[in-house]
Amino acid sequence: THFGDRIVALEDKQGLVDKVFHDVADRYDLMNDLMSMGVHRLWKDAMVAELAPPKAGTRPYRVLDMAGGTGDIGERIVNRSLGYAEVVVSDINADMLRVGEERATGWRYPGQVSFVQANAEDLPFEDNSFDAYTIAFGIRNVPRIQKALEEAHRVLRRGGRMLVLEFSQVDLPGFDALYRLYSDRVIPPMGRVVTGDAQPYQYFIESIRKFPEPGRFSAMLTEAGFRRVRHQSFTGNIATLFSGWKI
């Protein structure tokens, strides 16, 4: 498989990914704002608007935010549900979760979010136990993507919603050249200034270029059992939101 522009053994990829997020955890949120000029917030808002978590109901509404990192999707979901939704923020990386737990003390509904360390490929949750599964900018880091999608399908209940937000390939003439220039010339140096190391951000750029295009990723969702698979693109195709249902 790929780690950035290197070819690595599938079993070696996770360790390399973990080191990247270990190294950047404390500066992760700041880097997101800088690199995307704040736009990642709008994409995440759009994802949570699409989920439209209920604000009341007769039974709990449980969401698993996988590769949830520092918890910003989880915070958004709970806020949008006015404190009704219960979100499990789960990530393989203890450093990212630690930053999230620290942030959560300042949230509006801190009691509605819990943090669980887990691998997306092998979830420690029961079958049919969540109403929704969200993963933002996480799936491309997982070595065995198909396995993670199957696990997502397993833990969702029937009628449950799957939402995946991920970077995609910019293909608008003109904009693509600009985006490539920005990715190659601005992001790695910016990473070096803010986190002391450009290498994680080189990985970040290459991993976007290697991610399957929307048609192929949609087929992987269908293969994992999801139905009514759709996608919509954001900001000239920089990011794509995929939706599917377990029915």
CA distances from 36 to 132, 135, 171 (A): 26, 18, 18
26 is in an annotated binding site: no
Measured at CB, which residue is nearest to ligand SAM? 69
Q: Taking the complex as a whole, how short is the minimal distance between the CB of residue 54 and ligand SAM, in angstroms?
A: 22
User: Is residue 92 at the binding interface for ligand SAM, with CB under 6 A as the rule?
Assistant: yes
Nearest CA to 85 out of 134, 35, 30, 18 is that of 134
Residue 163: CB minimum distance to ligand SAM, A: 12
Stretch that binds ligand SAM, among 3-11, 76-84, 108-116, 118-126 (CB under 6 A): 118-126
Q: How far is CA 194 from the centre of its chain?
A: 22
Sequential DSSP letters for 165-211:
EEE----STTHHHHHHHIIIIIHHHHHHHHHS-SHHHHHHHHHHHHS
Q: Does 123 bind ligand SAM (CB under 6 A)?
A: no
Residue 91 annotated as part of some ligand binding site: yes
120 belongs to an annotated ligand binding site: yes
- Helix, strand or coil for residue 49? helix
Applying CB under 6 A, does 141 fall inside the site for ligand SAM? Answer: yes
Is the Cβ–Cβ distance between 167 and 243 less than 8 Å? no
| Residue closer to ligand SAM, measured from CB, 23 or 121 | 121
CB of 93 to ligand SAM, least distance (A): 3
Stretch touching ligand SAM by CB under 6 A, among 62-70, 149-157, 169-177, 237-245: 62-70
Q: Which of 21, 61, 115, 125 binds ligand SAM (CB under 6 A)?
A: 21
Q: Which helix (H) or strand (E) holds 156?
A: strand 156-167
C-alpha dihedral, 152 to 157 to 161 to 167, nearest 10°: -10
Return the SS3 of 84.
coil
Q: Which of 4, 53, 69, 214 binds ligand SAM (CB under 6 A)?
A: 69
User: From the list 23, 26, 50, 121, which residue makes contact with ligand SAM (rule: CB under 6 A)?
Assistant: 121
Contact flag: residue 119 with ligand SAM (CB under 6 A): yes
Rg, C-alpha atoms of the chain? 17
For helices 72-80 and 39-51, the axis angle rounded to 10 degrees is 50
User: Toward ligand SAM, which CB reaches closer, 136 or 152?
Assistant: 136
Residue numbering of the annotated binding site for S-adenosyl-L-methionine = 70, 91, 119-120
Q: Which residues bind ligand SAM (CB under 6 A)?
A: 14, 17, 21, 32, 66-69, 72-73, 91-93, 96, 119-121, 136-138, 141-142
